[in-house]
Structure 1
Amino acid sequence: MANLVLIILILGLIGTFEGYVPTPQDLYLRGKNIANFTRYTNYGFPAFDAGQLTLTAANEQHAMKANFSLIGYNRLNFELYKTGWLGSNPYRSIAIQHTDGDLSARVDLDSALNVQQTVSIDISALNISGSMAITFQRWKGYIYRIWLS
């Protein structure tokens, strides 16, 4: 995530730009749906708000799908901010799965709330590309960035 300040000197015109500039590894960045995520089956769909994805308490599971490649990457990373979890079940996770099968990997989330953090799913064994879904289970909060590394 690059915070870029650009000065333009064209024909005496001076201006600045400040904001978030996506990298080729970004799938989602602060309001920019780079991977073109859409609704996935019967799951709740995260709200694409200005600058973030919002997971609400209305559904116990949210999900979205897109076509992208995991080839050559080891981690799928999420910059997030959890505000709560749903129910008394301590199981909270983010998972990735192939939409035409059950191939998946996941990361279980800790119970820390109201703290911005980065979590990663180990995808080093998933040398695949195509339609994949990302599911968010039993927690609510915000996602600011999703990227591959």
Structure 2
Amino acid sequence: MARVLYWHLTPQEVLAKPYPVGKLLHWEIRCIISKESYSSIYWFKAGVPYDKEPILGLAFYAIGISKELEDEMIEFIHGKVGGRLMRRGERTFFADARIGIDNEYVAGFALSMEDKFDARCEIWLEFDLLSDDEVKSLYTAKAVPIA
């Protein structure tokens, strides 16, 4: 059984290939606005780290993005997933948000961010307990084994 990170996936690659959702530990959507600016939305199966206790939901942060665009992104994400907005430092959390973890949901979320914010999104997916056949059937060229 293997633990594997698949990174730098396009939404189209993820949309085209269903994966074993029960083995998904983490997904992340990075929205690249320019060379210097991007945002990240992420989910962890065990909850996103907030203070000393994880919370069920999503987290978001932005690097090199104007406050206005960051606020617009937060509003857009909140409209999609709901939840209770919480802030800690540079991160915004969507506690108890409505989140999907299958390939269609994650890819669709990324595509909606691309459309809304004229961004290029890439997706990172981390799995545990994948069989050798599952590892080979997914996104082999973009696989990074995790020890």
- What is the TM-score normalised by the length of structure 2? 0.29
Higher Cα radius of gyration: 1
Between the two structures, name the one with larger relative contact order (CA 8 Å, sep ≥ 6). Answer: 2
More helix by percentage: 2
More strand by percentage: 1
